[in-house]
Structures are given as C-alpha cells and as structure tokens.
C-alpha cells in the first residue's frame, strides 16, 4: 500500500488543481487502486505570501500554514507537499511544527535541474520568492547560476500571476512574451518558479523549442510519487 500524501493547496486553486492532474497523468497503473493515496486540504484563505515578505502586509501566513500542516498530520498523512513556491519562505518553521517530512519544492527543483546538466537558469517567480532569494539558495547550492527578469518585466510577470490567481485567462503566448524578454545569454532553461505559471506552462509541454521550460509542479509530482511508492525523502 502506498503512503498517504498530504497537500496544502489553495495557493492558488488553479495551481493545486493542475498539480492533481499532473499527479494523475504521471502514474501508469493497471487498475485505479494502484494510484497513490492523496489527502488535499485546499486553504485559499492563507494570507498573501508575497505581500508579507515584501512588507506590503503585516498579516503573516505562517500560523495558517502551520494549522494546515498539523491538520494533515493529525489526519494521518505520511508526508506533506506545498504547491506554492513562495510559501517555502516559511519552510524551516513548518518542518519544526510537524513530525512528518515536508518535501522541499525548491530543493527538488534544483536537484532536478542539476541532473539535466544545466548551469544557468532564468527564474520566473513572484516578487516574494525573488526578494527572499530562497530559490536562489537552492540553485546556488547545486552550482547553478540564477538570472531574474528586469524590474519592468517582473512587474508584467506579477500581473500575469495574479490574473491566474483570479481565474482570468492567460495564454501561452503571454507567458512566451515574458520568457523572451527575461532570458539573457547563456540561459539553459527557464524555471517556472511560481506554480501559477505552471498552469499555463503545462499547456506548452509539447513545444519543442528552446529554452527548456522547467515546470516545478511536475518536479514536485514526481518527487511525491517516488516518496509514496518507495519512502524516499
């Protein structure tokens, strides 16, 4: 029997739904009983992570995140994942609050990029993630150089991210325009470092043109399946 995977979702809701679809698509089963067991706690009321990190809000997301993690732990999950990169600003506090592993989306992504042999990536992420540099830290530990968009392109990127959070339509062309403006010389791959962007990027999986798009929801899903089937942390 596979382990029970717990998901703290709702940040945002489309990203959470996309993750569940990817989890399904990545599993090859003979019968439905072979799919991994999942317990999803969607909690979109968790305060805005970027607003808190950048000082635009004094309302901390930490306590609601801890509450969600403990709720899943008490429900019997074996590990937790959080399909929200910016929430990993609170990763250390969250791991101390529960007695089960929380898979680190940032470290999993950096390790995956390293296995591909890439040396330089363009990181598309929220202001909070870039300001906090916690994604930078994961990549730099793996010897990977990180490039981020200019201020003007970053502002456009944030508009796209919040459009997706509101449920508005964002096209693959919109994302492609950001990618083309953000990438400098020598970039091996573009990391969709906000799970909202993965909702759009997932529609472009079949694009066979550079640069390579790294969908962090796919990375998280692969790591989750591996943990649930083998117990690997």
Report the distance separating Cα 189 and Cα 62, nearest Å: 31
Rounded to two decimals, what is the model's pTM? 0.93
User: Which entry of 18, 79, 84, 198 is annotated as an active-site residue?
Assistant: 84
Has 183 been annotated as catalytic? no
Give the residues across from 145 on adjacent strands.
120
Structural domain containing residue 12: 4-104+219-230
pLDDT per residue over 178-219, tens digit each?
999 998 889 999 999 999 999 987 655 544 456 789 999 999
Domain shared by 137 and 192, yes or no: yes
217 neighbors 202 (Cβ within 8 angstroms):
yes
Which pairing describes strands 4-9 and 79-81: parallel, antiparallel, or unpaired?
A: parallel
pLDDT per residue over 40-92, tens digit each?
999 999 999 999 999 999 999 999 999 999 999 999 999 999 999 999 999 99
User: Which entry of 18, 79, 194, 198 is annotated as an active-site residue?
Assistant: 194
CATH number, domain with residue 150: 3.40.50.1860
Domain shared by 12 and 88, yes or no: yes
Total domain count, the chain: 2
Domain shared by 99 and 123, yes or no: no
Domain shared by 115 and 93, yes or no: no
Has 194 been annotated as catalytic? yes
Domain shared by 89 and 143, yes or no: no
Domain shared by 27 and 112, yes or no: no
Domain shared by 112 and 210, yes or no: yes
Who contacts 177 (Cβ-Cβ below 8 Å, separation ≥6)? Answer: none
């Amino acid at each position: 029997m596979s382990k029970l995977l717990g998901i703290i979702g709702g940040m945002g809701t489309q990203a959470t739904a996309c993750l569940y679809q990817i989890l399904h698509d990545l599993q090859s089963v003979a019968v439905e009983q072979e799919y991994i067991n999942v317990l999803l706690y969607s909690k979109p009321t968790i305060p805005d992570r970027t607003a808190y990190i950048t000082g635009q809000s004094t309302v901390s997301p930490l306590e609601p995140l801890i509450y969600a993690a403990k709720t899943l732990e008490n429900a019997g999950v074996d590990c937790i994942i959080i399909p929200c990169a910016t929430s990993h600003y609170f990763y250390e506090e969250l791991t101390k609050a529960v007695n089960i592993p929380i898979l680190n989306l940032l470290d999993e992504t950096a390790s995956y990029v390293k296995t591909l042999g890439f040396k330089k990536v363009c990181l598309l992420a929220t202001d909070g993630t870039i300001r906090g540099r916690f994604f930078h830290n994961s990549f730099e530990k793996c010897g990977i150089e990180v490039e981020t968009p200019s201020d003007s392109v970053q502002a456009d990127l944030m508009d796209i991210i919040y459009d997706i959070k509101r449920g508005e339509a964002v096209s693959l062309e919109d994302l492609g325009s950001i990618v083309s403006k953000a990438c400098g010389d020598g970039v091996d791959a573009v990391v969709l470092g906000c799970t909202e962007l993965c909702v759009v990027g997932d529609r472009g999986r079949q694009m066979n043109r550079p640069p390579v798009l790294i969908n962090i929801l796919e990375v998280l899903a692969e790591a989750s399946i591996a943990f649930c089937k083998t117990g690997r942390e």
